[in-house]
């Protein structure tokens, strides 16, 4: 019976080709646009997460207990041997590095500015973050260059320094004394992210340890996972393996709540897109089916008089609605998927908004990402809208009085 209902639905739709064609075209355009928007949403969210994590954060960080809350240099990890051993035996870790993170003051030629000093391992840092790619003048820190420093370009302008100039960095040591050291500018960094360009000073980790009197200590162990899906497993494994009273293991979204809020916003946006899909389908299909029912009142009355039951009439109209939405939905999905795949390959250039994008950790070229979950959500929402749109016309058709319907002009 279902196959017969589908055949009848297709026949009835083809009896009014212009009306059916316009409805299918409207549905196709709407669903194509929403499919592309969904892919854009997934693409920019993934892009933002990757850029946010790889700019500095890493997927997972290990600190001494309480450091992330206090940010005091005295709350540092004295020895990383146990941590390193566990990291080497933890699956899905792509690479890791050690850092020292401390706030301080930079001064040069009479100018001074607040600074966030980051002691890094130059070679390991390349494998964990993308800071290396932000060097716009000069060069990356070299192994053995203890006096080299990389500055954010805005910070360098504030200090009026360039390549080769001296900069004095001052910061509090663990015992509370102010320690200072002289460095030479080896390069300037431009990332578009204010925290990096306005505040960051990168120095060799070995020099930072000597300068601040930390010995072999560090404040951060930064981990890069092989995928976002591995973060939860890595975090759980390290929390079990490491002494919970001595260390804290934090995922990237726990370190900066802004990232978690952006993820939640993206999820809300996805549901808004789905709601729009349902409304579009309801409006388009309900209008078409009500017009179709008005034109076919005598047909429904005759079918009822010849013995067609109310349930059969109801099922026939619902199946007709499903056929209509399937035609528009498939066409629209194919068009939207084609656009998403094309721009997913070549990118959508929004460079004129580069400043705003970089502030949100996004690249100015957005690559839509067509995911299975995104496609399934759109198609299910379209079918749900079709069923809802078909219920009222189907109910109305099944309740017609045969004699009155057959007298309808």
Domains of the chain, by residue range, sit at 2-52+260-406, 66-243
Residue with tokens 């990383």: 80
- Structural tokens at position 349: 């250039």
Count the neighbouring beta carbons within 10 Å of the beta carbon of residue 160: 11
pLDDT per residue rounded down to tens, the chain (409 residues)? 667 767 777 777 777 788 788 888 888 888 888 888 888 888 877 777 887 888 888 999 999 998 988 889 999 999 999 899 999 989 999 999 999 999 999 999 878 999 999 999 999 999 999 999 999 999 999 888 889 999 999 999 999 999 999 999 999 999 888 999 999 999 999 887 888 889 999 999 999 999 999 999 999 999 999 998 899 999 999 998 887 778 999 998 888 777 677 777 777 877 787 777 777 777 777 777 777 767 667 766 777 777 777 787 777 777 777 888 888 888 988 999 999 999 888 888 776 665 655 555 666 677 888 888 878 877 787 777 777 777 777 777 777 666 665 665 4
What 3-state class would DSSP assign to 267?
helix
d(C-alpha 45, C-alpha 363), whole Å: 11
d(C-alpha 375, C-alpha 356), whole Å: 29
d(C-alpha 365, C-alpha 77), whole Å: 39
- Per the CB < 8 A criterion, the answer to whether 162 and 214 are in contact is no
Consecutive H or E run containing 66: none
d(C-alpha 257, C-alpha 71), whole Å: 16
d(C-alpha 155, C-alpha 137), whole Å: 14
Per-residue three-class SS string for 275-344? HHHHHHHHHHHHHHHHHHHHHCHHHHHHHHHCCCCHHHHHHHHHHHHHHHHHHHHHHHHHHHHHHHHHHH
Spell out the residues 6+ positions from residue 350 whose beta carbon is closer than 8 angstroms to its own: 357, 364, 365, 366
| pTM value > 0.75 | no
Residue with tokens 């390069």: 187
What 3-state class would DSSP assign to 357?
helix
Spell out the residues 6+ positions from residue 177 whose beta carbon is closer than 8 angstroms to its own: none
């Amino acid at each position: 019976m279902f196959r017969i209902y589908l055949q009848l639905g297709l026949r009835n739709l083809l009896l009014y080709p212009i009306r059916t064609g316009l409805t299918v075209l409207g549905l196709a355009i709407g669903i194509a646009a929403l499919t592309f928007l969904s892919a854009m949403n997934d693409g920019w969210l993934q892009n933002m997460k990757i850029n946010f994590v790889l700019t500095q954060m890493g997927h997972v960080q290990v600190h001494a207990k309480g450091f992330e809350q206090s940010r005091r240099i005295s709350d540092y990890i004295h020895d990383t041997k146990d941590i390193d051993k566990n990291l080497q035996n933890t699956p899905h870790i792509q690479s890791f590095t050690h850092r020292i993170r401390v706030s301080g003051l930079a001064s040069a030629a009479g100018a001074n500015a607040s600074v966030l000093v980051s002691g890094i391992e130059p070679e390991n840092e390349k494998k964990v973050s993308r800071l290396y790619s932000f060097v716009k003048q000069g060069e990356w820190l070299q192994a053995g260059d203890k006096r080299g420093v990389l500055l954010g370009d805005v910070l360098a302008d504030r200090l009026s320094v360039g390549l080769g100039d001296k900069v004095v960095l001052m910061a509090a040591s663990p015992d509370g004394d102010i320690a200072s050291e002289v460095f030479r500018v080896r390069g300037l960094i431009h990332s578009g992210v204010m925290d990096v360009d306005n505040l960051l000073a990168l120095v060799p980790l070995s020099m930072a340890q000597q300068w601040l009197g930390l010995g072999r200590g560090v404040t951060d162990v930064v981990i890069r996972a092989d995928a976002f899906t591995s973060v939860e497993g890595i975090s759980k494994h390290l929390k079990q393996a490491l002494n919970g009273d001595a260390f804290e293991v934090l995922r990237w979204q726990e370190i900066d709540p802004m990232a978690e809020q952006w993820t939640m916003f993206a999820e809300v946006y996805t549901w808004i897109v789905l709601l729009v899909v349902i409304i579009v389908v309801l409006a388009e299909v309900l209008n078409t089916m009500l017009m179709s029912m008005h034109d076919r009142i005598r047909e429904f009355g005759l079918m009822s008089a010849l013995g067609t039951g109310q349930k059969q009439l109801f099922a026939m109209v619902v199946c007709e609605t499903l056929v209509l939405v399937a035609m528009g939905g498939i066409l629209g999905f194919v068009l939207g998927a084609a656009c998403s795949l094309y721009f997913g390959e070549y990118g959508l250039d929004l460079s004129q908004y580069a400043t705003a994008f970089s502030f949100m950790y996004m690249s100015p070229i957005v690559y839509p990402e067509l995911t299975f979950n995104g496609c399934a959500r759109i198609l299910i929402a379209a079918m749900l809208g079709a069923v809802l749109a078909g219920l009222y016309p189907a109910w109305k058709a099944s309740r017609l009085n045969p004699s009155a319907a057959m007298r309808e002009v």
